[in-house]
Structure 1
Amino acid sequence: MKNTYIGSRPGLLAKKLVSLLLQGMVLAAVLGVAYILFATTQENLEIRGIESGFAFLWREAGLPIGDSLIEYDPSRSYGYAFLVGVLNTLLVSALAIVFATILGVMVGVARVSNNWLLAKCAAIYVETLRNLPLLLTLFFVYSVVLASLPHPREAIVLAEGYFLSKRGVYLPRPVAEEGFGIFVAAVCIALLLAVIFWRWAGAYKRRTGTSVPGFWGGLAIFGTLATLAYLASNSPIGSELPVYKGFNFKGGLALKPEFAALLIGLILYTAAFIGENVRSGIQSVQAGQIEAANALGVSRGVVTRLVLLPQALRVTIPATTNDYASLVKNSSLAVAIGYPDMVSIGGTIIGQNGQAIEIIAMWMAVYLTINLIISLVMNVLNARVQVVER
């Protein structure tokens, strides 16, 4: 046996050397092709008189941008304008992820409801939205639904200071007043105490077996202390109401129709996919657990909330991660309805400077970073909530 093993070692070493040689040849071929593409691109850019590099990011942009989370004017640089687009992309993506998740869970639960009408309506919603292009949904929301709203002078009054018109939704703008800093500090303390109570309730249940309403108790502590802090600091949050002047509303917060159409479209489209994830997750729960809960006389709502959803949502995390990543990428369709996201602003920069390679590289880097962060967070969550089988 020993001689056989020794005699086989040269053969193993030869195979490893051949394998390394082949891998090195493939790597050299890939690098060679990349170099040829880079050199050809540089030569073509020089022939057309197009500068390469990222120096253009510091030049004055001269771009008008209607929606911006940070202060912006056309005298800012191209890099600053691109940052405005990135922030707009992050805003609409984050809001869409939150609301699409909520709506998707509701739709998924409705799909398996005992109410025939509710289940069929949810099924029609899912099958319709999943089989329509998102771009068509955006066009419908923007050009049909929002365009049919009245002119601002005849705006629909949702509540005092809340108006809905074809030019957007107008809301009161929160304004920090005297004592706001103290109020924020008090809210942070209230949140810390609520978390401490929630963790204590969990530890107490594990130690004694007695259940304490940790979540609702912590929520009550936070709400009570935050309300007392608000009253004690003499209402430190004011509001600036929108007022109709001229041909539109002035003041307050304005949600432009382009932003609203993109947000609504992303929510409706992604929620259909999340709803299917939740439906399949609920149906994957063993029937014996449901039968046991029914035998104990537990209501359908309690079974759904405490038996079905906690197990179903664990199963849906991997598929929902893909839906979140798709949502972020689908936000690039904002260019079709005029919302100034990263792709729209980047396209304008390309039109003015011809720096297509640099802008495309920046797009790729931003989308890759966002989706890698989403994947990391969801993978950590998935690892924490998975049931360890024995």
Structure 2
Amino acid sequence: MANAISSFKRTLRIITMNGKEVKAVIFQAAFFFLVAGGAYFLYHNMQVNLERQNIQTGFHYLSLESGFAIGESWISYSPSSSYARAILVGFINTSVVAVLGITLATLIGVFVGVAALSSNWLVSKLTSVYINFLRNLPVLLQIILWYTIVTSPRFLPTVRDFNGENGLEPFLGTIYMTRQGIFMPFFEADIGWLGAAIGLATGIFISIWIRYLSRIRMDKTGQQLPVFWIGTSFILVLPCIGWLLMGAPVGIDYPEMGRFRLSGGATITPEFIAVLFGLTIYASAFIADIVRSGILSVPTGQVEAGRSLGLQEGVIMGRIVLPQALRIIIPPLTSQYLNLTKNSSLAVAVGYPDLVSISNTTLNQTGQAPEAIMIMMIVYLSTSLTTAFFMNWYDKKIQFVER
């Protein structure tokens, strides 16, 4: 009798467990069909509206002539270029702002983060104000603020102010800093500069390779090579060799003053300056706080050990503290890099021709809203995933390996 009751309870328990599993499967299937049904409803609604407005779906419009000009482009572009090339211009403009912003924000953030822990009272308080004040100002407000500053007549003159006998003199005789942008000399397009670019890329690759070999040598023998000076020599010498081998071009294009405008040379537009400064300073405040927190996470015994060996404070920070703090810094730093890249879409507020701005123009002219939005989503998603992949790879590389 006891065995029968025990068997009955075991059977009842199995049925109850299976019932829970069945309920879970039913709920998951219901949720899936609900999401799929909602997606189908939205897709069907979009198709009906597009047909009602006589708009064809697809990406065929990318090969059509764009018909609009872009004020700032790193590659050749004209109104007769295709929509695909226009979107490529926007992507390059966004990438340039993001890469420069990440680089500058990291340098400023590390400097301010280290300075925040200074024993000097004034330096410590100034960095604290910098971090807490800028972190709490919206990034859009900072971009608009910088755009107002660089286009205000109180700070910079116009191009016309440089005309005439009593006109202003350009900075260093060749650089015009105006409300319309900064006009400066630049190298003329010549195949000879390609040799310098190849030499620079080769020098950077060799420097990284030498650093890798130096670490192997350090682990085996305890001896360290002067990696910095060797790498710097390759980076400086190889571009010069490439420049000489390709004919040593010396052509420089100088800005020329016209009656109402400047032409020639290179131009840094006020929109680019405002976006770069706004994103950089905003992100640098967060990075500075991340660096400060990472440094504080390193045990004070590490610093005391370095001092007991007679090492200077700069060497202790660069060789002992920061390498250990990186393990704490990298994960939140990755989030700031991603935020800066995505915040670059706010450049449309000051008229900088980034991916969002050009995609909006394309959308308004063609009516291909789903396709334009899909392209933007794919670009930002791919950029974010790529950045996160490399940062996570580096994070795993510098973590302690437990045996």
Q: Deviations over 1:55-93 (max 9, x none)?
A: 333332211211112211112222322222122111111
Indicate if the aligned counterparts of 1:199 and 1:214 stay in contact, CA closer than 8 A.
no
Q: Deviations over 1:209-243 (max 9, x none)?
A: 22322333333344345545656766345422222
Q: What secondary structure does 1:169 align onto? A: strand
Indicate if the aligned counterparts of 1:82 and 1:346 stay in contact, CA closer than 8 A.
yes
Q: 1:309 aligns to what?
A: 322
Uncovered stretches (5+) of structure 1, i.e. residues with no partner: none
Q: 1:334 aligns to what?
A: 347
Q: Does 1:138 align with 2:151?
A: no
Deviation at 1:264, TM superposition (A): 1.0
- Within-5 A mapping of 1:248-259: 248-259=261-272
Q: 1:288 aligns to what?
A: 301
Query: Paired residues, what number?
Result: 390
Q: Closer, same or farther in 2 for the Cα pair 1:178/1:359, shift >3 Å?
A: closer
Deviation at 1:36, TM superposition (A): 1.2
**In structure 1, how many angstroms separate the alpha carbons of the residues matched to 2:110 and 2:52?**
55
Deviation at 1:256, TM superposition (A): 0.8
Q: 2:363 aligns to what?
A: 350
**In structure 1, how many angstroms separate the alpha carbons of the residues matched to 2:68 and 2:124?**
49
Q: 1:88 aligns to what?
A: 93
Of 293, 298, 318 in structure 1, the residue corresponding to residue 311 of structure 2 is: 298
**In structure 1, how many angstroms separate the alpha carbons of the residues matched to 2:42 and 2:394?**
41
Q: 1:40 aligns to what?
A: 45
Give percent identity, aligned residues only.
Answer: 38
283-292 vs 230-239, which deviates more? 230-239
Indicate if the aligned counterparts of 2:65 and 2:81 stay in contact, CA closer than 8 A.
yes
Amino acid at match of 2:156: L
- Within-5 A mapping of 1:227-266: 227=240, 230=243, 235-236=248-249, 238-266=251-279
Of 63, 69, 78 in structure 2, the residue corresponding to residue 58 of structure 1 is: 63
Q: Does 1:274 align with 2:287?
A: yes
Q: 1:175 aligns to what?
A: 188
Amino acid at match of 1:149: L
Q: What secondary structure does 1:79 align onto? A: helix
Indicate if the aligned counterparts of 1:193 and 1:221 stay in contact, CA closer than 8 A.
yes
Q: 2:165 aligns to what?
A: none
211-220 vs 105-114, which deviates more? 211-220
Amino acid at match of 1:35: Y
Q: Closer, same or farther in 2 for the Cα pair 1:298/1:270, shift >3 Å?
A: same
Of 146, 149, 162 in structure 1, the residue corresponding to residue 156 of structure 2 is: 149
Of 98, 103, 115 in structure 1, the residue corresponding to residue 103 of structure 2 is: 98
Q: What secondary structure does 1:122 align onto? A: helix
Q: Closer, same or farther in 2 for the Cα pair 1:210/1:11, shift >3 Å?
A: same
Q: Does 1:29 align with 2:34?
A: yes
- After TM superposition, the score normalised by the length of structure 1 is 0.89
Indicate if the aligned counterparts of 1:202 and 1:214 stay in contact, CA closer than 8 A.
no
Q: 2:177 aligns to what?
A: 164
**In structure 2, how many angstroms separate the alpha carbons of the residues matched to 1:134 and 1:282?**
26
**In structure 2, how many angstroms separate the alpha carbons of the residues matched to 1:233 and 1:42?**
57
Deviation at 1:13, TM superposition (A): 5.4
Q: 2:3 aligns to what?
A: none
201-210 vs 222-231, which deviates more? 222-231
- After TM superposition, the score normalised by the length of structure 2 is 0.87
Q: What secondary structure does 1:254 align onto? A: strand
Uncovered stretches (5+) of structure 2, i.e. residues with no partner: 1-6, 163-167
**In structure 1, how many angstroms separate the alpha carbons of the residues matched to 2:340 and 2:121?**
30
Deviation at 1:322, TM superposition (A): 0.9
Indicate if the aligned counterparts of 1:176 and 1:236 stay in contact, CA closer than 8 A.
no
Indicate if the aligned counterparts of 2:113 and 2:287 stay in contact, CA closer than 8 A.
yes
**In structure 1, how many angstroms separate the alpha carbons of the residues matched to 2:35 and 2:86?**
35
